Homo-oligomer: A and B are copies of this chain.
Amino acid sequence: MMADSDSPPPTDEPPGQVNPEFADVLKLFTVLSRAHASLMQKSKEDVARHGLTPAEFAVLEVLYHRGPLLQGDIQSRILASSGGITYLVDRLAERGLVERRESPEDRRARYAALTAQGIAFMDRIFPEHARCLARSSAALSPGEQRQAIELLKALGKGARDAPPCSDAP
């Protein structure tokens, strides 16, 4: 299969050829998106059984594992907008799973914390959820999983730190 010279194709069937230099990066982004979508789908179905969205579950999870947190800290950890946090905490508070607490030293700031009911709820559903993810990730051996973790950690950090694409050489 060789590249044909060049033909300004009529509007009918013109695949743009991928420059081989970029083939791997594009592929990487594709499989990354697909893998994420697949796992997220499983996770979503699982938490939906308890009437939660993934974002709501993410809030509960981070509070479950780290204790009360300033809403801004939750925001940076689960990657949501500030308005989104307000909305999420509102909904979870209505269910009695989370409560807001004032900060003693900064009256602008509010903590969000699991209620006793919220803790009990997570005690019940979190282990199931962890098993769900484990089963969904079982195609990778424990060693491969650790390998993937290291690669993805570096990839994520690199992408976060990379300069905006708008100012490119």
Contacts and interface: CB of A to CB of B under 8 A. Distances in A.
Main secondary structure of the interface of A (DSSP, over half): helix
Given A28-B145, A35-B152, A67-B14, A139 B158 contact: yes
Interface residues of A, number: 92
A135 B36 contact: no
A65 interface: yes
A165 B153 contact: no
B156 A19 contact: no
Interface in A88-136: 99, 101, 104, 113-116, 119, 122-123, 126-128, 130-136
Most buried by B among A32, A68, A79: A32
16 contacts: A11-B116, A15-B65, A22-B131, A22-B133, A24-B142, A24-B146, A28-B137, A28-B148, A32-B35, A34-B152, A34-B156, A38-B157, A131-B168, A137-B158, A138-B158, A144-B151
Interface of A: 3-4, 7-19, 22, 24-29, 31-43, 45-46, 49, 64-68, 79, 99, 101, 104, 113-116, 119, 122-123, 126-128, 130-140, 142, 144-149, 151-166, 168
